[in-house]
Structure 1
């Protein structure tokens, strides 16, 4: 069970776009450097965010910008935009339970609904967290870091 790194890359991208919007032209190359990932991966994530109307990409002076306010971008929207989980869901069930075993024949009946409930609960929580929350906490961490450096 694992959500792909495309999710956290997308959160990083959006946070960087907001942070650098007034001081730097934000490009895919710049974002790839910030993320520390291959530019192709970053561009693929950016395309997904653009298709979901989370970011806007222009070749002109503005570069990459947010297409909506941070408080309207939820973790859930990002999770869906970047296909963070495969079609089968958050939990990948082992492929071949033994049909000759009573547990193997029936394990799906005992587990599937419970795993679906867990995934639904997680998705409901993702809907409550916005990028505004992330940006606020990240900016505070940067300010604390700067204060610590200035005190030295």
Structure 2
């Protein structure tokens, strides 16, 4: 099992954009520039930015002056917004195949675990909703 870092990469990218984009006359940055800050491959950043674009958090411009920009103020983008944009799977998944239905534990455990996992995910999203990209940038730069 692997742990996803998509939310962390996306939050880093958005915080960096919040710092740099306002200093640019056109407000644009490239995926290569973002990748340099995140220290990852630009392809990872482009894939992440694609998810953020689909969620309406960033926009891209093509052509000679190509680049990416925030579509919302950093104060209005929460970490919950970021998480929901880039994490397609639930926080904790159930069995990849149904457990043995002849076993009393296998038969009864999925709904019990799903409810506990759903409560945990709701709690996490509530915590992430309390932190904005502007908060992340401000605390990072302190």
Scaled by the length of structure 2, what TM-score is found? 0.83
- Residue in 1 that maps onto 2:35: 32
Q: Report Cα offsets for 1:7-64 as digits up to 9, x if no partner.
A: 1111111111122221696211111121121211110111121222212222465832
User: 1:2 offset after TM fit, Å?
Assistant: 6.7
Is 1:11–2:11 an aligned residue pair? Answer: yes
Which structure would you say has the larger Rg?
Answer: 1
Contact 2:28 2:69 in 1 (8 A): no
- Choose the corresponding residue for 2:55, options 52, 58, 61: 52
Distance in 1 (alpha carbons) for counterparts of 2:80 and 2:74:
13
- Residue in 2 that maps onto 1:98: 100
Distance in 1 (alpha carbons) for counterparts of 2:12 and 2:47:
14
- Residue in 1 that maps onto 2:115: 113
C-alpha RMSD over aligned residues? 2.3
Distance in 1 (alpha carbons) for counterparts of 2:4 and 2:115:
23
Residue segments in structure 1 that go unaligned for 5+ positions in a row? 141-152
- Residue in 1 that maps onto 2:69: 65
- Choose the corresponding residue for 2:126, options 95, 104, 124: 124
* Structure 2 CA distance for partners of 1:85 and 1:62, relative to 1, 3 Å: closer
Contact 1:2 1:90 in 2 (8 A): no
User: Structure 1 stretch 42-51 or stretch 108-117: which is displaced more?
Assistant: 108-117
Q: Report Cα offsets for 1:99-125 as digits up to 9, x if no partner.
A: 232112111243221221111111122
Scaled by the length of structure 1, what TM-score is found? 0.78
How many residues are treated as equivalent by the alignment? 137
Contact 2:18 2:134 in 1 (8 A): no
User: Structure 1 stretch 65-74 or stretch 3-12: which is displaced more?
Assistant: 3-12
Secondary structure of the structure 2 residue equivalent to 1:56: strand
